[in-house]
Chains A and B, each alone.
Chain A
Amino acid sequence: MDFINAIILLLNYIFVPALTYGSQLALGAIFVTLIYGILRFANFATGDMMSFGTMAAILFTWYFQSLGVSLGVLPTALIAIPFAIIFMIFYMLLTDKFVFKYYRNQKSPPVQLAMVSIGVMFVTQAVVRIIIGPSDRRFFDGEKFIIKAGEFKEITGLNEGLAIKSTQILTILVTLILVSTLFWFLNKTKTGKSMKAYSDNEDLALLSGIDPKKIVMITWIIAGILATIGGTLYGLDKSFKPFTYFNNMLPIFAAAIVGGIGNPFGAFLGGYVIAFSEILLTYAYKKFFIYVLPESMEPDGLVQLLSTDYKFAVSFSILVIVLLYRPSGIFKGKVL
């Protein structure tokens, strides 16, 4: 019995949260990796673009709520997402037209494009804060839990409860559907294949008649979908605050690099690698050991490897180790 309790404990505090957080990171990391693979620069505006998409989703949610539209048990934000995506794609194409296009045509080095993306980061951050303000916002409605800890205890008769929030299941499901569609698109359709070709070798792709304008536009459209959905899911699960989104850029970058930058599947797994290691290393295992070990060997301290304040340190250390031993990432990078 104690052993099952211990497993439930780990599921409740490590597995489910890490899977959710990992999915959110994975969506962001695929966004980073796509931009890097096809447009060939590190996009420092990632976090702020995600917060822009989330902001749009929140505004639409409020609008629908004021109309009295709702999905019952599901959050209203789900209806708002498609509209927010259109808004986001429009914004991204606009930035591309007025900012990035010029440097792409000039064949500027990636570093210069990265600097330009910092300019976009400043502007996007300002726009988000001017429109919706810098404060913490929750926009979740509908049924909060699928299983509450108390109910779980009653049903199974265990000491440990397992609480699953509906946003967690929603995040994991949506991520799975989105990512599998994306991989199907990249690997099976003609457009997807031409994107891969363009990422592999630009000149050769141009020679074989691939239209670079179309590729770039589709990349931004996919990026818009990923950024909006990733950001909104994070906001539903935790809360929306522009500053947190800006900071999320760091683990997202770490995930993209760990997975091999330019490789969407690597980025997808990279998100989970970062999320699981952050949570595994900063979790206090005291209760777990109390269940597993006999009473005489119970630990005194929290049995926590690192204090939770060092979450970033974990993702960075993984990054350093990967860069030192496998510079192209766990899955070989730079192939789309």
Chain B
Amino acid sequence: MRKNLNVIAAYSIMMGLIILVGIFQSWNIALSIFNLCLISAVMTMGANIQWGYAGLINFGIMGYTALGGLAAVLISVNPVQEAWSAGGSNILFSLFLIIGMVLAVRYVLKKYDKSKLRTYIIATIIISGIILVRFVSEPGIEAIEEVNPAKTGFLGGFGLPIIFSWIVGAVFAGGLAFIIGKVALGLRADYLAIATLLISEIVIAIIKHEDWLTRGVKNVIGLKRPAPYEVDLQQTDWFINLVEKFNFSKLNLIQDFSERQIALNQLVIEGSSIFVKLCYSGLFLVVVIILLILTQKALYSPWGRMMRAIRDNEEAANAMGKNVVKQHLLIFVLGSAIVGIAGAMLVTQDGLFTPGSYRPMRYTFLIWVMVIVGGSGNNFGAILGGFAVWFLWIEAAPIALFVINITTSGLADNHFLKQHLIESVPYFRFLIMGIGLLLIMRYRPKGILPEKIEIK
């Protein structure tokens, strides 16, 4: 109990802050901050596994998040039959061609020794394969994109409940991480950072511009929900009764029946959106807790000890007979898969998929700030980092506004400096993040909750 005091204190302060937002701003805002905090926590857990456990730098978090989001679309949207009949066969055929191409390259790689000839053969296979695939897929893609472009114009998905996409998102992200890991994990740390950053940009470029698969920048809206809809809730009896029960004392003060009815309606509308957000919070909380238990178990298992050994001294671990390359690949895939889950959760919560909104600042660097600030190598720290940084990110604008108003209170309201500063309030969040990161790295380089290894 005693040694965990700082963890408990840090989490209580965090929850207290969110509750304060609920009291002073509104419970709706507090809950949406809480939900995004939970999603950020999942992302930081993924990044923390890679950086904190194994010391691998992954600046491609944005790419995995987007792939998770793509999974949510592909799983939950109903299939567009017309589009399938228009161009589905071409797409499937190109898919087979790509698989064939990969197998051919693998065969050549395995069968022949390294030589100039082998390189040329592989290059020929890849180039002719790409030309062939483009030749086959182009008419299909055009046909698909022409099917009712204002509403669909893409293949659609499988029409399954969106919850499944959380697993599929993990599989997608893990698959991508496997390919990237095979190519790039041998690189030195800073090269790996740059390479993963570039790959995530490419993933976003593909998602943005392959309209037949993702609708691209036309966005997919109105995804299915795992939680009830507000409009339905407002008409169900049990929910109205529940709201009535909760606000019994408040409602009893109103004498007039019709006024009471209006007040009740207002409460039901507010209550419904809070209820939906609570449903999401419950779902997300389950994911966070499951992942936390798993990652904690892994951290204190023999495997976790081995990962720390590899992180702290690669050569020594290698000499002890640990397969460093394989373990790096494994942890790269695992961490990315967790980020993929978070990506699917994010799209599930928003109910829409907007490829244009994936920016490296928000989805890669901010997550890294969370990991570093929270405490790399410590799961509780990573989750706390996700909460604290996301909270600051949202509340930075009101805080900055408050500070500006105080510092410039001597100036007239229409003074140009004051007006300019108030207009640029949204950008103060970058400033706060940057300064926070620099201060933490300087004075508490292990984060708020540092890594603490105890042998159990």
A interface with B by C-beta (< 8 Å): 41-42, 99, 102, 110-112, 114-116, 118-127, 129-130, 133-134, 246, 250, 253-254, 257, 307, 309-310, 312-313, 315-316, 319-320, 323-324, 327
Closest to B138 in A: A301
Query: Can you list 22 A-B contacts (CB < 8 A)?
Result: A42-B194, A111-B189, A114-B57, A114-B193, A118-B369, A123-B430, A123-B435, A125-B361, A126-B429, A126-B430, A126-B431, A129-B424, A250-B197, A250-B201, A309-B205, A309-B208, A309-B209, A310-B206, A313-B202, A319-B198, A323-B191, A323-B195
Known contacts A122-B365, A316-B201, A316-B202; is A114 also within 8 Å of B427 by CB? no
Chain A residues contacting B191 (CB-CB under 8 Å) are 257, 323
Assess whether B433 is interfacial by the CB under 8 Å rule.
yes
- Whether the pair B428, A126 counts as a contact (CB closer than 8 A) is yes
Known contacts A111-B57, A126-B427, A130-B424; is A119 also within 8 Å of B434 by CB? yes
Closest to A130 in B: B424
Closest to B216 in A: A309
- Whether the pair B368, A312 counts as a contact (CB closer than 8 A) is no
- Whether the pair A315, B198 counts as a contact (CB closer than 8 A) is yes
- Whether the pair B183, A324 counts as a contact (CB closer than 8 A) is yes
Among A125, A254, A312, point to the contact of B430 (Cβ < 8 A): A125
Chain A residues contacting B197 (CB-CB under 8 Å) are 250, 253
Chain A residues contacting B201 (CB-CB under 8 Å) are 250, 312, 316
- Whether the pair B431, A119 counts as a contact (CB closer than 8 A) is no
- Whether the pair A257, B183 counts as a contact (CB closer than 8 A) is no
For the complex formed, measure the closest distance between the CB of B395 and the CB atoms of chain A, giving whole angstroms. Answer: 16
Assess whether B437 is interfacial by the CB under 8 Å rule.
yes
Known contacts A111-B189, A323-B191, A323-B195; is A119 also within 8 Å of B427 by CB? no
Closest to A311 in B: B205
Chain B residues contacting A126 (CB-CB under 8 Å) are 427-431, 434
- Whether the pair A313, B365 counts as a contact (CB closer than 8 A) is no
Chain B residues contacting A310 (CB-CB under 8 Å) are 202, 205-206, 209
Interface centre among A112, A122, A316, A319, by most chain B C-beta atoms within 10 angstroms, is A122
Among B183, B202, B369, B429, point to the contact of A312 (Cβ < 8 A): B202
| Complex CA distance for A324 and B199, rounded to whole angstroms | 15
Assess whether B421 is interfacial by the CB under 8 Å rule.
yes
For the complex formed, measure the closest distance between the CB of B211 and the CB atoms of chain A, giving whole angstroms. Answer: 11
| Complex CA distance for A248 and B16, rounded to whole angstroms | 41
B interface with A by C-beta (< 8 Å): 57, 183-184, 187, 189-191, 193-195, 197-199, 201-202, 205-206, 208-209, 360-361, 365, 368-369, 372, 421, 423-424, 427-431, 433-435, 437-438, 441-442, 445
Closest to B359 in A: A243
- Whether the pair B193, A122 counts as a contact (CB closer than 8 A) is no
- Whether the pair B438, A99 counts as a contact (CB closer than 8 A) is yes
Closest to B423 in A: A133
Closest to B131 in A: A305
| Complex CA distance for A320 and B187, rounded to whole angstroms | 10
- Whether the pair A114, B183 counts as a contact (CB closer than 8 A) is no
For the complex formed, measure the closest distance between the CB of A47 and the CB atoms of chain B, giving whole angstroms. Answer: 11
| Complex CA distance for A223 and B435, rounded to whole angstroms | 23
Given contacts A111-B57, A121-B434, A313-B205, 10 further A-B contacts (CB under 8 A): A41-B190, A102-B442, A115-B368, A120-B438, A123-B438, A126-B427, A126-B429, A312-B205, A316-B195, A323-B191
| Complex CA distance for A124 and B361, rounded to whole angstroms | 13
Closest to A256 in B: B194
Among A112, A124, A246, A307, point to the contact of B209 (Cβ < 8 A): A307
Chain B residues contacting A254 (CB-CB under 8 Å) are 194, 198
For the complex formed, measure the closest distance between the CB of A26 and the CB atoms of chain B, giving whole angstroms. Answer: 18
- Whether the pair A114, B437 counts as a contact (CB closer than 8 A) is no
The 4 closest A-B pairs by CB, nearest first: A122-B434, A123-B434, A126-B430, A126-B431
For the complex formed, measure the closest distance between the CB of A256 and the CB atoms of chain B, giving whole angstroms. Answer: 9
Chain B residues contacting A111 (CB-CB under 8 Å) are 57, 189-190, 193
Among B57, B421, B431, point to the contact of A122 (Cβ < 8 A): B431
Chain B residues contacting A130 (CB-CB under 8 Å) are 421, 424, 427-428, 431
Closest to A312 in B: B201
Known contacts A122-B430, A324-B183; is A312 also within 8 Å of B198 by CB? yes
For the complex formed, measure the closest distance between the CB of A28 and the CB atoms of chain B, giving whole angstroms. Answer: 14
Chain B residues contacting A116 (CB-CB under 8 Å) are 438, 441
For the complex formed, measure the closest distance between the CB of B137 and the CB atoms of chain A, giving whole angstroms. Answer: 13
Known contacts A116-B438, A122-B433; is A129 also within 8 Å of B427 by CB? yes
- Whether the pair B431, A127 counts as a contact (CB closer than 8 A) is yes
For the complex formed, measure the closest distance between the CB of A158 and the CB atoms of chain B, giving whole angstroms. Answer: 33
Among B208, B365, B430, point to the contact of A129 (Cβ < 8 A): B430
| Complex CA distance for A134 and B425, rounded to whole angstroms | 12
- Whether the pair B372, A115 counts as a contact (CB closer than 8 A) is yes
Interface centre among B183, B209, B423, B438, by most chain A C-beta atoms within 10 angstroms, is B438
| Complex CA distance for A246 and B201, rounded to whole angstroms | 13
Closest to B425 in A: A130
- Whether the pair B199, A316 counts as a contact (CB closer than 8 A) is yes
Chain A residues contacting B442 (CB-CB under 8 Å) are 102
For the complex formed, measure the closest distance between the CB of B315 and the CB atoms of chain A, giving whole angstroms. Answer: 15
For the complex formed, measure the closest distance between the CB of B135 and the CB atoms of chain A, giving whole angstroms. Answer: 10
For the complex formed, measure the closest distance between the CB of B181 and the CB atoms of chain A, giving whole angstroms. Answer: 13
| Complex CA distance for A124 and B438, rounded to whole angstroms | 12
For the complex formed, measure the closest distance between the CB of B450 and the CB atoms of chain A, giving whole angstroms. Answer: 15
Chain B residues contacting A257 (CB-CB under 8 Å) are 191, 194
Closest to A249 in B: B197
Chain A residues contacting B193 (CB-CB under 8 Å) are 42, 111, 114
For the complex formed, measure the closest distance between the CB of B296 and the CB atoms of chain A, giving whole angstroms. Answer: 25
Known contacts A119-B434, A130-B424, A310-B209; is A323 also within 8 Å of B198 by CB? no
| Complex CA distance for A313 and B429, rounded to whole angstroms | 31
- Whether the pair B434, A120 counts as a contact (CB closer than 8 A) is yes
Closest to A106 in B: B445
Closest to B421 in A: A130
Among B194, B199, B430, B434, point to the contact of A253 (Cβ < 8 A): B194
| Complex CA distance for A228 and B430, rounded to whole angstroms | 22
